[in-house]
């Protein structure tokens, strides 16, 4: 097989050129979007991610795959599935008397590469309803945008803000209808005048259930015991903010796919309060 270097902008081939036999150098790319590069030699496929230094763009090798002898060419879906932007994350929401508190870490990964270390995974749906996103970044952003679009029209029809339960139902409908195509775990939380603060969990597959506390993402597996031991009903807003911050810090210290800062949102009848806890201000945990 003659070695070629293929450069992809998402799913479109934008450049291709022959390289010297045995060359493993990746073609540098300039782009302000997520662009992957794929280097193919006679024996291996080199998957890369472009980065820019102070002087010039370079590419770093993220992984290698052997070429299939039967086809002599990789299945491109393997490449794109492997480097899909994914929020393997830690998210959380808690109800309290008067509102809800949401929290999330800020790390987004593309394969082994940290594509964004300060992502905002708390996405506004309406003025009093937010969602926490985990799974595929593209999928969850698209779902949140679609739900927000539908609720804007719903608010015009009603002449008043939509209910949190309504927002959760729209999320559930989308996630269930496209469950075979989407990788999306959502926590919907907010306040309305009918039921006050509410938290709804919409996991992958499209189920929807209301819970007083919900955790999700890859980091949640490390903190179920802590949450069960420390959560108590009747906490006020300050206690919930501290509880969510500590829980997320514990998850981030154990889960390699979670990290960065902790973003918080407290939603009450008065509105939304946003907080950011920087990495050096988080509680530290060490294994003995």
Catalytic residue among 41, 89, 201, 245: 89
Is residue 104 within 8 A of residue 122, CB to CB? The reply is yes
User: Which residue shows structure tokens 């603060």?
Assistant: 197
* Distance, CA of 110 to CA of 125 (rounded, Å): 25
Instruction: Name the burial class of residue 223, with classes exposed (0-12), middle (13-18) and buried (19+) by CB atoms within 10 angstroms of its CB.
Output: buried
d(CA 63, CA 40): 12
Q: Which residues pair with 160 in a beta bridge?
A: none
Outline where DSSP puts E strands in 19-90. Answer: 36-40, 44-52, 57-66, 85-87
How far is Cα 103 from Cα 247, in angstroms, rounded to an integer? 10
Are 237 and 224 spatial neighbours (Cβ–Cβ below 8 Å)? no
3, 38 in Cβ contact below 8 A?
no
- CB 115, CB 108: distance < 8 Å: yes
- The yes-or-no answer on residue 33 being catalytic is no
**Residues marked as catalytic:** 89
């Amino acid at each position: 097989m003659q070695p070629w270097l293929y450069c992809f902008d998402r799913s479109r081939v934008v450049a291709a050129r022959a390289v010297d036999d045995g060359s493993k150098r990746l073609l540098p790319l300039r782009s302000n979007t997520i662009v992957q590069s794929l280097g193919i030699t006679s024996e291996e496929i080199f998957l890369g991610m472009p980065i820019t230094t102070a002087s010039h763009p370079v590419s770093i090798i993220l992984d290698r795959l052997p070429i299939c002898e039967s086809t002599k060419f990789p299945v491109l879906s393997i490449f794109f599935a492997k480097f899909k932007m994914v929020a393997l994350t830690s998210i959380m929401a808690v109800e309290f008397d008067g509102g809800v508190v949401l929290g999330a870490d800020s790390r987004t990964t593309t394969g082994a590469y940290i594509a964004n270390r300060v992502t905002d995974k708390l996405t506004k749906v309406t003025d009093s309803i937010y969602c926490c996103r985990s799974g595929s970044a593209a999928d969850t952003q698209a779902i949140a945008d679609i739900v927000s679009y539908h609720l804007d029209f719903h608010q015009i029809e009603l002449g008043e803000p939509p209910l949190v339960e309504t927002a959760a139902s729209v999320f559930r409908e989308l996630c269930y209808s496209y469950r075979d195509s989407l990788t999306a775990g959502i926590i919907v939380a907010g306040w309305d005048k009918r039921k006050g603060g509410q938290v709804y969990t919409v996991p992958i597959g499209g189920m929807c259930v209301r819970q007083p506390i919900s955790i999700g993402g890859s980091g949640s597996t490390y903190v179920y015991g802590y949450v069960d031991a420390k959560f108590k009903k009747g906490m006020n807003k300050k206690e919930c903010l501290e509880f969510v911050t500590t829980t997320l810090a514990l998850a981030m210290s154990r889960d390699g796919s979670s990290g960065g800062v902790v973003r918080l949102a407290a939603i009450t009848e008065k509105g939304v309060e946003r907080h950011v806890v920087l990495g050096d201000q988080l509680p530290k945990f060490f294994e003995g």
